[in-house]
């Protein structure tokens, strides 16, 4: 073989080797770029420091909260990027749900560590008990029964025995426990929790009663508590509490029936399926204020401190009617003619939405 042929072969091999090395280098560059991007994503998501004010902070997780909602909130507040990555991590690695409780987050903890922590209730430092305004005693008891961080002593007892165990001098439990957000030690007893809620409610009732307006149509503070529970169920707007109170107080004074739907619903108990019929309004129960005069025998829900204050301080208007507007809130009227007009306006709004 001639020297020129050998030289040509060597040059061809070098060219082929050079050509084959270019794709390999390109692949390495792409892979390096991918891992760099992945590192940046992980750093700004899973491995980013969880936002803590100071050295440590308490994180409250409520019953019913979800990882998806928790992650979305962190992203919305600008604390993490690429929330979808966090959700994928939770699905693939954690395989669990959020556990209600109060967790202690330390400065320097990563988002990944926090996600892991709140999947195990054993990590909770305290238990968050949320009692919503206007819920019933039955709903309160059911939530305590389901709470894994509450030690059960009395919630499974019959109601009369439960009240006796708690040294509560009433025959009916409704309305006696203050709605609010509470924090208790993990493993606290239902006895202690209910006792504290009862004490808070009685304190709020006593303070409001001692500072009540004059000329109220209540024979005692328990009747005021009954009124507060009705007010609580009739409106969710703080600005309307005193107005609703004024309507019902004036009705009591002139001997007019309260005619309030929430009392009818409470009296129906488990028979209530989401709608009230004309027959329901005509069917007498101890709580049907369409068929009976005066107040029902007990509260119908757990009233807030604001509702109790409103029951003691009704407004000074002449209104004795009110109806929903259909757009939030109520329209109050002092005479039947204006009230009927407001009812027609409400029905018109409903029709326009259908």
> pLDDT tens digits, residue range 167-221?
999 999 999 999 998 988 888 999 999 999 999 999 999 999 999 999 999 999 9
Instruction: Quote the mean pLDDT of the chain.
Output: 86
Residue 60, both tokens = 């409250």
Q: pLDDT at position 269, please? A: 92
C-beta contacts of 271-277 below 8 A and 24+ residues apart: none
Domains and CATH numbers, the chain: 56-123 (3.30.1490), 132-207 (no CATH), 217-353 (no CATH)
The yes-or-no verdict on residue 24 having pLDDT over 90 is no
The yes-or-no verdict on residue 35 having pLDDT over 80 is no
- Sign of CA pseudo-dihedral 132, 133, 135, 137: positive
Across 114-134, average pLDDT: 87
Q: Is 109 exposed, middle or buried (0-12, 13-18, 19+ CB in 10 A)?
A: middle
The yes-or-no verdict on residue 10 having pLDDT over 70 is no
For residue 344, what pLDDT band results from cuts at 50, 70 and 90?
very high
Across 83-97, average pLDDT: 82
Q: pLDDT at position 158, please? A: 96
The answer to whether 186 touches 101, Cβ cutoff 8 Å, is yes
Residue with tokens 């259908």: 354
Strands (DSSP E) along 186-326, which ranges? 321-324
The yes-or-no verdict on residue 2 having pLDDT over 70 is no
Compute and round to an integer the Cα radius of gyration of the chain.
32
For residue 97, what pLDDT band results from cuts at 50, 70 and 90?
confident
Residue 160 CA to residue 165 CA, distance in Å, equals 9
The answer to whether 274 touches 310, Cβ cutoff 8 Å, is no
C-beta contacts of 267-270 below 8 A and 24+ residues apart: 267/296
Residue 282 CA to residue 354 CA, distance in Å, equals 28
For residue 38, what pLDDT band results from cuts at 50, 70 and 90?
very low
Q: What is the pLDDT of residues 222-265, one digit of tens each?
A: 999 999 999 999 999 999 999 999 999 999 999 999 999 999 99
Q: What is the pLDDT of residues 292-340, one digit of tens each?
A: 999 999 999 999 999 999 999 999 999 999 999 888 899 999 999 999 9
- Sign of CA pseudo-dihedral 230, 236, 241, 247: negative
The answer to whether 305 touches 178, Cβ cutoff 8 Å, is yes
The yes-or-no verdict on residue 36 having pLDDT over 60 is no
Count the Cβ atoms, other than its own, within 10 Å of residue 9: 11
Residue 227 CA to residue 242 CA, distance in Å, equals 12
| 259 Rama class: left (phi>0) / alpha (psi -120 to 50) / beta | left
Residue 222 CA to residue 225 CA, distance in Å, equals 5
For residue 52, what pLDDT band results from cuts at 50, 70 and 90?
confident
Cβ neighbours for 112, distance < 8 A, ≥ 6 positions apart: 46, 47, 89
The yes-or-no verdict on residue 118 having pLDDT over 70 is yes
The answer to whether 332 touches 316, Cβ cutoff 8 Å, is no
pTM: 0.74
Q: pLDDT at position 65, please? A: 87
Q: What is the pLDDT of residues 134-168, one digit of tens each?
A: 999 999 999 999 998 899 999 999 999 999 999 99
Rounded to a whole number of angstroms, the distance between the first and last alpha carbons of the chain is 95
Across 16-35, average pLDDT: 56
């Amino acid at each position: 073989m001639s020297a020129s042929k050998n030289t040509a072969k060597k040059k061809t091999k070098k060219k082929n080797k050079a050509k084959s090395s270019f794709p390999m280098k390109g692949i390495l560059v792409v892979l390096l770029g991918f891992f760099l991007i992945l590192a940046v994503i992980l750093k700004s998501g899973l491995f980013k420091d969880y936002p803590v004010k100071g050295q440590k902070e308490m994180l409250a997780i409520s019953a019913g909260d979800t990882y998806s909602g928790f992650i979305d909130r962190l992203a919305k507040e600008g604390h993490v990027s690429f929330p979808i990555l966090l959700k994928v991590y939770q699905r693939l690695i954690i395989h669990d749900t959020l556990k209600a409780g109060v967790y202690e987050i330390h400065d320097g903890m990563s988002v990944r560590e926090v996600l892991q922590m709140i999947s195990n209730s054993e990590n909770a430092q305290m238990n968050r008990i949320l009692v919503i305004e206007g819920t019933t005693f039955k709903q309160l008891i059911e939530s305590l029964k389901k709470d894994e961080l509450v030690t059960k002593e009395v919630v499974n007892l019959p109601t009369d025995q439960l009240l006796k165990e708690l040294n509560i001098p009433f025959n009916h439990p409704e309305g006696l426990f203050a709605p609010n957000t509470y924090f208790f030690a993990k493993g606290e007893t239902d006895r202690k929790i209910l006792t504290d809620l009862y004490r808070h409610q009685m304190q709020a009732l006593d303070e409001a009663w001692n500072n009540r307006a004059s000329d109220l149509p209540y024979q005692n503070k328990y009747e005021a508590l009954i009124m507060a529970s009705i007010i609580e169920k009739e409106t969710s707007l703080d600005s309307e509490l005193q107005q609703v109170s004024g309507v019902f107080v004036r009705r009591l004074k002139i001997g007019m029936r309260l005619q309030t739907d929430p009392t009818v619903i409470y009296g129906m108990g488990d028979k209530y399926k989401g709608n009230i019929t004309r027959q329901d309004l005509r069917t007498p129960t101890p709580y049907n204020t369409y068929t009976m005069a005066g107040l029902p025998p007990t509260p119908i829900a757990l009233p807030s401190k604001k509702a109790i204050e409103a029951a003691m301080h009704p407004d000074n208007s002449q209104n004795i009617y009110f109806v929903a507007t259909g757009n939030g809130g109520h329209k109050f009227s002092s005479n039947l003619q204006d009230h009927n007009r407001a009812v027609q306006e409400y029905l018109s709004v409903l029709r326009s939405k259908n």
